[in-house]
Amino acid sequence: MPKRALLSVSDKTGLVDLARGLVELGWELISTGGTARTLTAAGLPVTEVAAVTGFPEILDGRVKTLHPKIHGGILARPTPEHLDQLQEQGIQPIDLVVVNLYPFRETIARPGVTPEEAIENIDIGGPTMVRAAAKNHERVAVVVDPASYSEVLAELREKGNLSPATRRRLAAAAFAHTAAYDAAIAAYFQRLIRNEEPFPVHFILSGEKVQDLRYGENPHQQAAFYRLPAVPPGSLAGARQLQGKELSYNNLMDLDAAWNLASDFKEPVAAIIKHTNPCGVARATTPSQAYRLAYAADPVSAFGGIVALNRTVDAATAREMTEIFLEAVIAPDFTPEALEILKGKPNLRLLAAGERAAYRVQEYQVRPVSGGFLVQEPDYHVLDPERLKVVTTRKPEAREMEDLLFAWQVVKHVKSNAIVVAKDGVTLGIGAGQMNRVGAARIALEQAGAGAKGAVLASDAFFPFSDTVELAAKAGITAIIQPGGSVRDEESIKAADAARIAMVFTGIRHFRH
């Protein structure tokens, strides 16, 4: 009796070549719907599932492979008892199952897709066959990835069968395939009911490997980069690398931090990042001007940095960026002229992320802890200037208020304890990740130097003491923005009033651990 292969695929890549190879090896083909039509059109002999089951497809194709003559053929073990039962029921064994599933993830990624359309692209028969074959992989081989077709054919041609190790590896891939598929469906339905249940009892996380990385944060750590299902426009995971060396783990961490910061602004902004913290951020009327100002904010730290711009990189900006060593640049896109200029830096990694349709490109932040993980909403809070509370005698001038809002938007992206000193839409000094707030202020003010005179200061959290205000006053800071809410707020307010510093409370903090 010839061996039998059941082929039912949504992705037809490589299908005909695989089927032809099986026929040449003497295999019998069983198939469904569009897959059967593709094989027939290629001149290959194929038996439709309906002819095997003696039952037609019904319910608009919702029921076609859910039948004992299919699942009995897949699930039977090579024991005398099982083989006798197959013979009694007129069921022939199926030796190979080649299935990939309805394009659910691609469907929900389309703009404007309705729940009805999404539901019709939830595969039922496909996952059932895949799981059945994977369960019985000691006898039945299961293939879900077209990239595996050539390897499977090569082993069948060489050995006439697939080894237990190959079957086990294919089964692992099959279970991962159905798990990822179900995770995408679960995530979609969770979005539909998110207002009712923001954090589900079971939090399911699934990713598709983009690439193995050379190593993690350090050479002795292994690492890989994974992409979530239905990657939204304007996200790092969906970016195209246009040139440069292979991305590293640290590159990706810094690129994400830089891209999130730059994308937080509507006006043209350039951000230069080192170790996930900004070292220079500037807004301007053109991307080249923004980059030039961001670089000038801290040229020492900018060396070997990661740059993000929220506008397409043009020739003028590209020329500016060729003057120093940079690790990577991420932007919505690059003009052909810019790419031609940047070819002179062949190792410089260039990533085109596309335009963000909306800023909320990430639904959850997930961070591992020992034995588990933490989940939270990303910090997408947008400050409403009308809700600011001026708590000092002197109110900020219009220029100061613009800088306060700019510095507040930047400080959200700086590791706590965080202080940002800024003037005229450019950061002058940034104190990041310090164990106390006055320490962060000292770093930021020292970096700003004489430029701190007439500048503003932003703090990601309230002042527990008046010392940061007093330090700012000595440096010449004229306005401060901070959340407020400390039991010692009055001390800071009095210190600000004594120095004629305008201070506003946001009522919102931006801790970043």
List alpha helices for 333-480, DSSP H: 336-342, 398-411, 437-448, 467-475
Neighbours of 344 (CB within 10 A): 10
Note if 135 is an active site residue: yes
Catalytic residue among 3, 82, 135, 245: 135
Angle between helices 149-159 and 164-192 (to 10 degrees): 160
d(CA 415, CA 513): 6
* Paired residues of 493 in beta bridges: none
By CB atoms closer than 10 A (0-12, 13-18, 19+), residue 21 is middle
Identify the H or E element spanning 187: helix 164-192
Question: How many CA atoms does the CB half-sphere of 54 hold within 13 Å?
Answer: 5
Structure tokens at 114: 């309705």
Residue for token pair 């003037």: 423
- Please choose, from the candidates 512, 190, 236, 492, the residue with its C-alpha nearest in 3D space to the C-alpha of residue 362: 236
d(CA 377, CA 362): 8
Structure tokens at 243: 């040139």
Amino acid at site 510? H
Catalytic residue among 275, 413, 494, 510: 275
35-43 own/partner pairs: CB under 8 Å, 24+ apart: 35/7, 35/8, 35/9, 38/12, 39/7, 39/15, 42/16
| Residues labelled as active-site residues | 135, 275
